[in-house]
Structure 1
Amino acid sequence: MSTIVIEGCAIATVDDERREYKSGHLVIEDTRLVAVGPGAADPDHTNKAICVIDASGKLATPGLVNCHHHLYQWATRGYAQEATLFEWLVALYPVWQHIDDAVVAAAARAGLASLARSGCTTTTDHHYIFPKHAGDLLQVEIDAARAIGVRFHPCRGAMDLGRSQGGLPPDDVVEDRDAILAACAEAIDRHHDPEPGARVRIALAPTSPFSVTPELMRETADLARARGVRLHTHLAETDDEERFCLERFGVRPLQYMDDLGWLGEDVWLAHCVHLNADECARMGATGTGVAHCPTSNGRLGAGIAPVPALLRAGAPVGLGVDGAASNECGELVDEIRAALVLGRAAAGPQALTARDALELATRHGARCLGREDELGHLSVGALADVALWDLDEPGYAGIADPVFALAFGPTRPVDTLLVGGEVVVEDGELRTADPLTLAAELRRESARMAEAAPR
């Protein structure tokens, strides 16, 4: 049994009691935390440790949890720069038709590396475009996550409502419903690990009300619940989506999902920007989660999600970077600050605190993914997913509150990142891949795909 001791750091545990220590210690045995507390570690732990990390001047937090992403979009950053969501999708669907396993591999490795360097230890990915020529794209992404070293919750997305049927996506990027359900079942069989400490878990994720039929929504929910996996989709992101649902279904987006049996503790929904007070209450009453994506929502002019109202209602609200084509940075620590700034811009300076925002990025995100028992907090028995942030540099000088410094100070790469006790980032540098090689691969594949797309 290998032991790692981390000492001398400030600690924000985000545990049940929200304990914090000005100077404390963490002890890791194999993949889990066995001690967390103030002061130095017990000598019995220190004496048998294979590594003792002096973390003076640093803040330890749980590893961050990313609740919504589209990794393949790392290959199409910078497109449709002034577009709304629907305009942006219409511009990009013809490009995305040309993704293949090489594009997705390069994009996934680059995107996951960026997430790791921003303190993220667990991420989802919502992949919903599967060209027939493209290869096994879900396997490609899982391999990329394994190589970078992060915990991965890929969502098998799908679209079956093409433009000829009144949907938004072109007909040649949608799939047959029976084929989708078969692929979802296969993804669960091949990849889903329900055991404690799992590195890979599958969720099922029909893409959105404007790209999926009600029949697929219902049948996917039935399949997921029969197999014990979670459900995810986009919802209430824009005014355009609201108009689409009112015109096609006669109800607002959340009511549409409620009618289909899509609210519950096994569901988390991306965005939820356009919810009224009653809808926020319904989210809380059903325990339905939200992936709040403030930077993407701002980039596309979608609006600001009512996060304080959702939290008051009792809904778990995690953070997401969303697709890198609508958030060209794609780093999760940035979303802590974005959530704070936009939340306060919408509802005043007391709407969210720095600690609220850290909880969104950790504890709430773990709850959205059904992992709150072992992720999102630094507690004895939790998985050893730990982020160390260097607050000794000049950009943080004079800010006495370390959590406030992390949330409002200048964003920097995480100093050290451990996933299940394994070092992924050290001294601010990724240890599992060469960033220059990742960048060169992504640049090459992005250019190749752009050349194949219609002009």
Structure 2
Amino acid sequence: MSVDLLIRNASHVYVDRGVEVTGGGSWLAVTGDRVSGYGSSLDPEPEALRVIDAGGRLVTPGLINTHHHIYQNLTRSFGPAVNGDLFTWLTTLYPVWARLDEEAVHTSAYIGLAELLLGGCTTSTDHLYVHPRPNLVDAEIAAAREIGFRFSPTRGSMSRSEEEGYLPPRSVVQDRDTILADCERVVAAHHDPAPGALIRVGLAPCSPFSVDDGLMRATAELAERLDVRLHTHLAEAESEIDFCREVYGRTPVEHFEDVGWATDRAWVAHFAYPSEAEAERLARAGVGVAHCPSSNMLLCGATAKVQQYRGWGGPVGLGCDGSSSADAASLWMEARAALLVARLLHGPASMTARDALDVGTRGSAACLGRDDEIGHLTVGALADVVVWDMDPVSLAGAHSDPVEAWLRCGPARAWVTTVGGRVLVEDGRLRLPGLSEQLRTHDRISREMQGLV
């Protein structure tokens, strides 16, 4: 019996932590949307309807992005905000983002997901918390469906404005009843709990400095009732600690716990400034962390203590964060940044390339509640696969360990990316027929939002 797709002649297939196929001639088989087998040059290859020759390249599971604000690629490297701290950056950009509409969100999502594919990402969440107009989450889900990308967006929200001593302007916040009603609508319209789903939806109040505690509690209760996941920013900046002590009389983590979020249904972005005791409590509660090293280095000045948190049993995944903070959406870059910053802060034994890969695959999948079927290439897993391309000059002399070479030597880029066995990147190029038109639309909208036309 033949399989649908055979990726053959790989240098190495990283199947899962502790499971690797080594040596030239390694292969991976796909039947339908699932991995159906793998082997080395010593194992007979199955017949296949389609064969991709990996040309001696490394094969891994697709990387998984656990934190993003895709609409922000419309304001990349926005001049007035690039060198400010987090609060300055946000207050500068909120009025610009207030111009978002369905067309802007759709095209930014299309371009953002395309960029993620080139960086080896096959599943991404998104945290869309600015809602100056209705149906914005629907627009980005439509873009993901057009591409065939595995997408877990969150219906974000902000309920407190600058008029009440919080950060956002009134134009981008909504009242609690409007938010909760639309959260329920979006889940009913788009969330697919079935195995192999392309679209899963979560709920995501933005942050302690833009959401009231009543909305946080109500959202946690709604997520429990609808059986969806919860996401928010937490302990991202030192100024957040001061804000929470002044407004709530407690630290951000204490506030998070008090409003009922310290469960394994939740994962949080950044988590750069908890105390050690707070971090251990959340890890043991099963709260996931989206580690965003590039964004943290650009905006926050600190980063999550990844290996320590993992040691306590907490899931940690990778996130590239919004395009106008980190300004790039390559999870390969984030994996490399995670490796480097860990070793800078905690020494060379603190993280290996395999640790970073595990964070970006299994760890990220656990944050999204999907490590049963994504983040690995075991038989029966979804066939979300990346064949990595690196210039032979960059790899010259790297013979002993393809996984270490992949992250140390770089830069690496996807040569083939499949989502559920469907090839979306081939020969290093996106196979998206609508890309050129979307780029033209994106350019027009971006210039209009930034006041350049």
TM-score normalised according to structure 2 size = 0.95
CA distance in 1, matches of 2:452, 2:171: 16
CA distance in 2, matches of 1:428, 1:317: 29
State how many pairs are aligned: 448
Q: Note the C-alpha offset of 1:391.
A: 4.4
1:243 equivalent in structure 2? 242
Tell me whether 1:443 sits opposite 2:437 in the alignment.
no
CA distance in 1, matches of 2:264, 2:311: 17
**Stretch moving more, 210-219 or 397-406:** 397-406
CA distance in 2, matches of 1:374, 1:332: 20
Matched ranges for 1:213-252 at <5 A: 213-252=212-251
1:111 equivalent in structure 2? 112
Tell me whether 1:403 sits opposite 2:403 in the alignment.
yes
Counterpart of 1:42 (choices 34, 41, 44) is 44
Tell me, what secondary structure is at the counterpart of 2:413? coil
Cα deviation code 1:251-300 (max 9, x no counterpart): 11111101111012111000001122212211221111000001111111
2:361 equivalent in structure 1? 362
Q: Does the aligned pair in 1 maintain the 2:253–2:278 contact within 8 Å? A: yes
Counterpart of 1:26 (choices 19, 25, 28) is 28
Cα deviation code 1:125-161 (max 9, x no counterpart): 00011113xx521111011112222100000000001
Tell me, what secondary structure is at the counterpart of 1:303? coil
Q: Does the aligned pair in 2 maintain the 1:85–1:302 contact within 8 Å? A: no
Q: Does the aligned pair in 1 maintain the 2:291–2:303 contact within 8 Å? A: no
1:58 equivalent in structure 2? 57
**Stretch moving more, 428-437 or 22-31:** 428-437
CA distance in 2, matches of 1:41, 1:360: 30
CA distance in 2, matches of 1:271, 1:263: 16
Tell me, what secondary structure is at the counterpart of 2:451? helix
Tell me, what secondary structure is at the counterpart of 1:190? helix
**Stretch moving more, 306-315 or 184-193:** 306-315
**AA partner of residue 199 (structure 1):** L
- The 4+ residue runs of structure 1 with deviation greater than 6 A are none
Matched ranges for 1:72-91 at <5 A: 72-79=71-78, 80-91=81-92
Q: Does the aligned pair in 1 maintain the 2:384–2:420 contact within 8 Å? A: yes
CA distance in 2, matches of 1:231, 1:12: 33
* Gap regions ≥5 residues in structure 2: none
Q: Note the C-alpha offset of 1:2.
A: 5.5
Cα deviation code 1:42-73 (max 9, x no counterpart): 35x22xx1112222311000001000000110
Q: Does the aligned pair in 2 maintain the 1:294–1:338 contact within 8 Å? A: yes
TM-score normalised according to structure 1 size = 0.95
**AA partner of residue 311 (structure 1):** R
1:275 equivalent in structure 2? 274
2:261 equivalent in structure 1? 262
CA distance in 2, matches of 1:243, 1:84: 15
Q: Does the aligned pair in 2 maintain the 1:13–1:379 contact within 8 Å? A: no
CA distance in 2, matches of 1:40, 1:52: 18
CA distance in 1, matches of 2:149, 2:363: 18
1:419 equivalent in structure 2? 419
**Stretch moving more, 162-171 or 335-344:** 162-171
Cα deviation code 1:319-377 (max 9, x no counterpart): 00000010111211110111111111111111111100001111100010011000000
Cα deviation code 1:181-239 (max 9, x no counterpart): 00000011000000000000000000000000000000000000111100000000000
Q: Note the C-alpha offset of 1:104.
A: 1.3
Matched ranges for 1:316-335 at <5 A: 316-335=315-334
Q: In percent, how many aligned pairs have the same letter? A: 45
**Stretch moving more, 322-331 or 100-109:** 100-109
Change (3 A) 1:33 1:281: same
Q: Does the aligned pair in 2 maintain the 1:5–1:41 contact within 8 Å? A: no
Tell me, what secondary structure is at the counterpart of 1:300? helix
Q: Does the aligned pair in 2 maintain the 1:58–1:392 contact within 8 Å? A: no
Root-mean-square deviation (CA, aligned residues, Å) is 1.7
